[in-house]
């Protein structure tokens, strides 16, 4: 859209060649539109006349008016260049694209439309607005929508929803006043680029009274029909024609622009019919495409109202007609199969991947009878397979001869190609026996001159023919120590059926100690005959018993004389290979009579090899001190008798011992006629027998307030006695707790003391509290305060002596005020308050305590809690820490992008961006560029810049980009490394050109860019001089 005072990227290309932008910026130093009579004279021609000019006022007294309008601009610019009008021949080097860019730059659309006086109810002639897309390649408008308001309506034109690159469209607007006088409205043109919508003011004058007239309203103005296959008809959609006027609406024609793809399928509207005022009728349209793709059309409605004919745009997508597509299993491989036997059936699948029914013809095997179609598949001759469905064919293989066999499964159908094929393959295998022997090694261990139990070898036939066994023989140096036992099913001269097996049973009877090895040989008609089984045997000596004990000493802990300990156990093991017979169990030693024996070991019961029995010993001392003895176990063991050394300690009979703690209790000061908090005395039975308690008493003014002690206290146990102090007089008082028991030294006592004093005042928090919470505060913010009240509950006055803050974060808190004061006095019933302040020095949980001291009873310690949060701060994060440039001689290095992002949680202010060193340039003017300094970046925001290398010299160069911000780490720096390899200069041809390229021709004193700059400067100077006139 071209508009003089609403510049828009869709109207004027953002990518006008750099030489044009550079000239405009450097010469004008402001945005100037060439079609503005006030500021523009970039392309001026004294030859511009009449309607070809921007300003058609006659005479053309203003030079600024002599500018070509957008409809003629491109042709006029090229014509003036070709004919050198106003010196424009110097621009003959401009390309067609550059001329197009300048023409787009000059585009113009009126900002207002004014209509002549029109009778009320009648419609004026239409006026036209032209919408242009940029002539720059690759830039077009889309999503274009047009709305009007007031007595104005869109009455046609070529604009739809898009305008292609380099094209334009028109909007026709008419005026139908509904009342007399001045009538106004707007035309809003919305699109998908910036500065939308474009608003054009509309005005006109209504004349006379409204005559009855129809007003046609068509809804909707576009239909998108459902996607439909070629040859099919979609569901109909309706258009409603309403008469909102005051006279009958006559429909003279209903037409379709594309009758090949669309039909009028019904409705109540009819050509030649009429619609009464306030009524409506409908037109049904259906989509019946003839070819695939997007198909468009227009429904035309010709009537007698303003804006006739009306139109409805039609759009539909046509798809190809449905067809079946057959997809069949490519091949089936049956592998090896014995000749004459059937293999496992395999399944081929036929799938209809098309969108119409697949109709099957016949199914057949291409050749031979070894492959066959079996029952059980779901495919059948003449069957129909729905789109997306499939069926199966079961195929069998029974080879008749050995070797590779093949054929094809062929299914005919109505899909493209007429049939599908699955290749079939398999191998016929000749019949032969295959022997299997398991295990191939047997291991025996047996006492010399005895025979082992049988072990079994299994012979199996996994082949396809019977296995004949011709001989079973034993061989090897000790073959005579082995024998083939009866009971096996394998026999010399016998056979093993296919998939069958037989057994050979073997026994070992060694004639000497040590390794005795041999082998079993099986002769047969299969490959690898004979098969051999290795026989490994060991002859062992005759068995003997051996005795072992799990313990050879037993020690008994202290045992009271006259009592018997718990028994301790010794486990006896026969670790030999023959039964162990016991001949006696004897206790000897100086205290043999203090020990007794029991257990399961007995002289009457031999102990089998690898078995165990037990001997139990108990300690029953007859005198105090250390007591010892020895238990001897006699037997037929090959390693002789076994012995256990016994020891124990005997102690005297137990007795109780009473111990009271502490030795004394001091209750301190206690208000007269009140009872103190209970204090505990602990009674412990430090003896070895139960302590019998006869009585526990306390002397006045002390009393027993409770006890956990009963009539008896077990040895090593404890109980408590609670004692209180209730002075009836002022001054010191003393007494005792007395315990009478069966322990030596009874009675036992604890001294008691205390002092009766007058009542003292009690301080308390009002209301009662133990914690003051300050909530959350950001570090560095002003302190927050809380108030607590201190009440003197009496009796009498109290003097405050101190307020102490303690704890790991006490420095974060302060007593900042209040009416409570050190050395201040509070009478009974009076109160004061403290103001507490929280000013954290660091983030995190910050806790402390407050303790008040006084001449009375102090209030509970207050816990102070608060949470400190870190202050918000910006963080400058660059997209790179190093930029690298690389170029070859004679070429400029490509610019490098660099962006800065605020990854903190506070506003980042950028105050400086500079190249600290090197021949480098910084350009922040990108599409997401950094704005003029200083500028701010919100958290998460970023901006971009471009770094260039301006040096053309060979070699390397280093530099630095510095960006100064309000972040804690500033400036942010990016190092730059650049390298251009040294050029290799070939020798210049004699008498000829030095080669290479040049922007300007060698014979010209100036290049085209300089001509353009000169012409632009001259135009600006002329315009300024004209204004001063």
* pLDDT tens readout for residues 923-973: 775 445 687 788 889 999 999 888 998 887 888 999 999 999 998 888 889
Q: Is there a single domain that holds both residue 858 and residue 883?
A: no
151-199 pLDDT, tens digit per residue, is 888 888 888 777 776 677 888 999 888 888 899 988 888 777 655 677 8
Cβ 17 vs Cβ 98: under 8 Å: yes
Q: For residue 50, what pLDDT is reported?
A: 55
pLDDT band at 306 (very low <50, low <70, confident <90, very high): confident
Which is more confidently placed, 279 or 856? 279
pLDDT band at 533 (very low <50, low <70, confident <90, very high): very high
pLDDT band at 1027 (very low <50, low <70, confident <90, very high): very low
Q: Is there a single domain that holds both residue 625 and residue 694?
A: no
Q: Is there a single domain that holds both residue 418 and residue 317?
A: no
Q: For residue 1003, what pLDDT is reported?
A: 37
Q: Is there a single domain that holds both residue 554 and residue 607?
A: yes
User: What percent of the chain lies above the pLDDT cut of 70?
Assistant: 83
Which is more confidently placed, 37 or 115? 115
Q: Is there a single domain that holds both residue 645 and residue 570?
A: yes
Q: Which of 8-17, 236-245, 522-531, 916-925 has the lowest mean pLDDT?
A: 8-17
CA–CA separation, 554 and 570 (whole Å): 8
Three-state DSSP class for 423?
strand
Burial-class residue 454 by CB neighbours within 10 Å (0-12, 13-18, 19+): middle
**Would 182 be classed as within a structural domain?**
no
The runs of H, that is alpha helices, within 792-932 are none
Q: Is there a single domain that holds both residue 363 and residue 264?
A: no
- Domain span at residue 225 reads 212-321
Of 841, 869, 897, at which residue does a domain stop?
869
Could you tell me the two tokens for 366? 């291409």
Q: Is there a single domain that holds both residue 647 and residue 734?
A: no
Buried b (16+ CB within 10 A) or exposed e, 940-961: eebbbbbbbbebeeeeebebeb
Cβ 400 vs Cβ 406: under 8 Å: no
What are phi and psi for residue 724, nearest 5 degrees? -120, 160
Number of CB atoms found within 10 A of residue 695's CB: 9
Q: Can you tell me the mean pLDDT for 1006-1020?
A: 47
**Would 117 be classed as within a structural domain?**
no
Q: Is there a single domain that holds both residue 400 and residue 483?
A: no
DSSP state of 857: B
* Number of domains, the chain: 7
859-879 pLDDT, tens digit per residue, is 999 999 999 988 888 999 999
DSSP state of 716: T
pLDDT band at 810 (very low <50, low <70, confident <90, very high): very high
pLDDT band at 757 (very low <50, low <70, confident <90, very high): confident
Q: What does the mean pLDDT of the chain come to?
A: 84
Q: Is there a single domain that holds both residue 440 and residue 422?
A: no
State the CATH number of the domain containing residue 337.
2.60.40.10
Indicate whether 821 pLDDT > 90.
yes
Q: For residue 210, what pLDDT is reported?
A: 61
Q: Can you tell me the mean pLDDT for 780-798?
A: 92
9-25 pLDDT, tens digit per residue, is 333 222 222 223 223 22
Of 302, 321, 340, at which residue does a domain stop?
321
**Would 885 be classed as within a structural domain?**
yes
**Would 787 be classed as within a structural domain?**
yes
Q: For residue 938, what pLDDT is reported?
A: 92
Which is more confidently placed, 964 or 30? 964
Q: Can you tell me the mean pLDDT for 690-709?
A: 95
Burial-class residue 585 by CB neighbours within 10 Å (0-12, 13-18, 19+): middle
pLDDT band at 538 (very low <50, low <70, confident <90, very high): very high
Of 511, 540, 569, at which residue does a domain stop?
540
Indicate whether 262 pLDDT > 50.
yes
DSSP state of 929: B
Q: Is there a single domain that holds both residue 864 and residue 768?
A: yes
Q: Can you tell me the mean pLDDT for 46-54?
A: 52
Residue ranges with strand state E in 691-783: 691-698, 702-707, 712-713, 718-725, 731-741, 748-757, 763-765, 771-778
**Would 128 be classed as within a structural domain?**
no
Could you tell me the two tokens for 924? 């922040």
Q: Can you tell me the mean pLDDT for 755-766?
A: 88
pLDDT band at 348 (very low <50, low <70, confident <90, very high): very high
Cβ 755 vs Cβ 722: under 8 Å: no
Q: For residue 586, what pLDDT is reported?
A: 95
Q: Can you tell me the mean pLDDT for 848-853?
A: 95
Q: For residue 451, what pLDDT is reported?
A: 94
**Would 185 be classed as within a structural domain?**
no
Q: Is there a single domain that holds both residue 609 and residue 683?
A: no
Q: Can you tell me the mean pLDDT for 116-145?
A: 71
445-495 pLDDT, tens digit per residue, is 998 889 999 999 999 999 888 999 999 999 999 999 999 999 999 999 999
This prediction has a pTM of 0.28
Q: Is there a single domain that holds both residue 767 and residue 863?
A: yes
Q: Which of 77-86, 103-112, 407-416 has the lowest mean pLDDT?
A: 103-112
Torsion-angle region of 3 (φ positive above 0: left; ψ -120 to 50: alpha; else: beta): beta
Q: For residue 760, what pLDDT is reported?
A: 80
- Residues found in the chain: 1029
**Would 139 be classed as within a structural domain?**
no
**Would 456 be classed as within a structural domain?**
yes
CA–CA separation, 352 and 332 (whole Å): 19
């Amino acid at each position: 859209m071209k508009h003089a005072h609403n510049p828009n990227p869709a109207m004027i290309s953002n990518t006008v060649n750099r030489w044009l932008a550079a000239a405009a910026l450097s010469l004008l130093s402001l945005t100037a539109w060439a079609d503005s009579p006030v500021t523009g004279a970039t392309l001026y021609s004294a030859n511009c006349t009449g309607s070809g000019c921007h300003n058609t006022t006659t005479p053309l007294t203003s030079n600024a008016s002599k500018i070509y309008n957008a409809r003629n601009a491109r042709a006029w610019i090229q014509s003036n260049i070709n004919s050198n009008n106003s010196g424009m021949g110097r621009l003959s080097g401009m390309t067609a694209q550059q001329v197009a860019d300048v023409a787009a730059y000059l585009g113009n659309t009126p900002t207002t439309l004014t209509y002549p006086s029109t009778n009320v109810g009648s419609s004026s002639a239409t006026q036209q607005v032209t919408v242009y897309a940029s002539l720059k390649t690759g830039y077009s408008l889309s999503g274009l929508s047009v709305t009007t308001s007031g007595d104005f309506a869109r009455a046609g034109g070529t604009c739809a929803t898009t305008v292609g690159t380099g094209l334009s469209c028109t909007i026709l607007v008419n005026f139908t006043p509904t009342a007399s006088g001045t009538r106004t409205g707007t035309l809003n043109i919305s699109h998908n680029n910036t500065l939308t919508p474009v608003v054009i003011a509309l005005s006109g004058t209504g004349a006379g009274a409204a005559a009855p007239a129809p007003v046609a309203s068509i809804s909707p103005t576009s239909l998108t029909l459902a996607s439909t296959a070629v040859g099919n008809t979609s569901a109909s959609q309706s258009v409603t024609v309403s008469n909102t006027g005051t006279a009958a609406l006559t429909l003279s024609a209903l037409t379709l622009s594309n009758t090949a793809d669309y039909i009028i399928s019904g409705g109540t509207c009819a050509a030649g019919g009429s619609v009464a005022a306030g009524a409506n009728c409908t037109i049904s349209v259906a989509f019946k495409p003839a070819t695939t793709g997007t198909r468009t059309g227009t429904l035309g409605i010709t009537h007698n109202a303003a804006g006739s004919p009306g139109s409805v745009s039609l759009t539909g997508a046509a798809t190809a007609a449905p067809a079946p597509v057959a997809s069949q299993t490519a091949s089936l491989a049956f592998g090896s199969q014995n000749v004459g036997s059937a293999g496992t059936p395999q399944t081929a699948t036929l799938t209809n991947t098309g969108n119409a029914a697949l109709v099957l013809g016949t199914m057949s095997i291409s050749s031979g009878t070894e492959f066959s179609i079996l029952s059980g598949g779901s495919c059948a001759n003449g069957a129909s397979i729905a789109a997306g469905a499939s069926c199966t064919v079961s195929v069998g293989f029974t080879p008749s001869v050995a070797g590779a066999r093949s054929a094809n499964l062929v299914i005919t159908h109505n899909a493209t190609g007429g049939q599908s094929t699955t290749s079939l393959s398999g191998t016929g295998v000749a019949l032969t026996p295959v022997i299997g022997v398991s295990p191939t090694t047997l291991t025996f261990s047996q006492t010399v001159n005895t025979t082992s139990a049988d072990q079994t070898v299994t012979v199996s036939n996994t082949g396809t023919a019977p296995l004949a066994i011709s001989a079973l023989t034993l061989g090897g140096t000790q073959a005579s120590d082995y024998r083939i036992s009866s009971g096996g099913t394998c026999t010399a001269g016998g056979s093993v059926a296919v998939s069958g097996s037989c057994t050979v049973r073997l026994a070992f009877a060694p004639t000497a100690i040590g390794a005795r090895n041999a082998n079993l040989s099986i002769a047969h008609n299969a490959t690898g005959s004979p098969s051999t089984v290795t026989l490994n045997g060991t002859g062992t000596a005759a068995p003997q018993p051996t005795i072992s004990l799990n313990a050879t000493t037993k020690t008994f802990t202290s045992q009271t004389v006259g009592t018997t300990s718990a028994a301790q156990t010794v486990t006896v093991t026969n670790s030999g290979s023959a039964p162990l017979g016991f001949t006696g169990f004897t206790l000897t030693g100086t205290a043999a009579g203090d020990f007794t024996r029991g257990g399961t070991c007995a002289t009457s019961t031999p102990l089998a090899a690898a078995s165990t029995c037990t001997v139990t010993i108990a300690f029953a001392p007859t005198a105090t001190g250390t007591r010892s003895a020895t238990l001897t176990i006699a037997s037929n063991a090959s390693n002789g008798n076994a012995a256990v050394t016994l020891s124990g300690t005997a102690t005297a009979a137990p007795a109780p011992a009473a111990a009271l703690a502490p030795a004394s209790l001091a209750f301190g000061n206690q208000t007269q006629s009140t009872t103190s908090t209970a204090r505990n005395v602990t009674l412990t039975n430090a003896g070895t027998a139960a302590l019998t308690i006869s009585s526990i008493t306390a002397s006045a003014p002390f009393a027993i307030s409770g006890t956990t002690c009963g009539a008896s206290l077990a040895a090593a146990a404890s109980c408590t006695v609670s004692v209180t102090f209730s002075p009836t007089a002022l001054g010191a008082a003393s007494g005792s707790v007395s315990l009478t028991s069966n322990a030596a030294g009874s009675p036992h006592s604890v001294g008691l003391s205390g002092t009766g004093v007058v009542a003292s005042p009690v301080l308390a928090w009002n209301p009662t509290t133990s914690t003051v919470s300050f909530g959350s505060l950001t570090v560095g913010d002003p302190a927050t305060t809380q108030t607590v009240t201190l009440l003197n509950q009496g009796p009498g006055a109290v003097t405050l002596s101190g307020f102490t803050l303690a704890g790991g974060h006490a420095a974060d808190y302060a007593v900042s005020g209040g009416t409570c004061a050190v050395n201040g006095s509070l009478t009974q019933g009076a109160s004061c308050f403290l103001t507490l302040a929280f000013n954290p020095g660091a983030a995190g949980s910050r806790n402390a305590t407050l303790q008040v001291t006084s001449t009375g009873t102090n209030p509970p310690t207050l816990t102070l809690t608060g949470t400190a949060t870190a202050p918000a701060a910006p963080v400058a994060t660059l997209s790179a820490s190093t930029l690298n440039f690389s170029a070859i001689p004679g070429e400029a290095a490509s610019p490098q992008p660099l962006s800065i992002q605020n990854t903190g949680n506070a506003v980042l202010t950028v105050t400086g961006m500079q190249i600290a060193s090197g021949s480098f340039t910084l350009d922040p003017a990108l599409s997401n560029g950094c704005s003029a300094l200083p500028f701010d970046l919100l958290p998460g925001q970023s901006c971009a810049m471009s770094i260039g290398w301006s040096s053309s010299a060979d070699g390397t160069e280093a530099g630095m980009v510095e960006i100064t911000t309000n972040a804690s780490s500033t400036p942010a720096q990016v190092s730059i490394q650049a390298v251009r390899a040294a050029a290799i200069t070939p020798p210049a041809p004699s008498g000829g050109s030095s080669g290479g390229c040049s922007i300007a021709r060698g014979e010209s004193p100036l290049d085209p860019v300089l001509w353009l700059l000169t012409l632009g400067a001259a135009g600006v100077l002329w315009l300024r001089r004209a204004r001063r006139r």
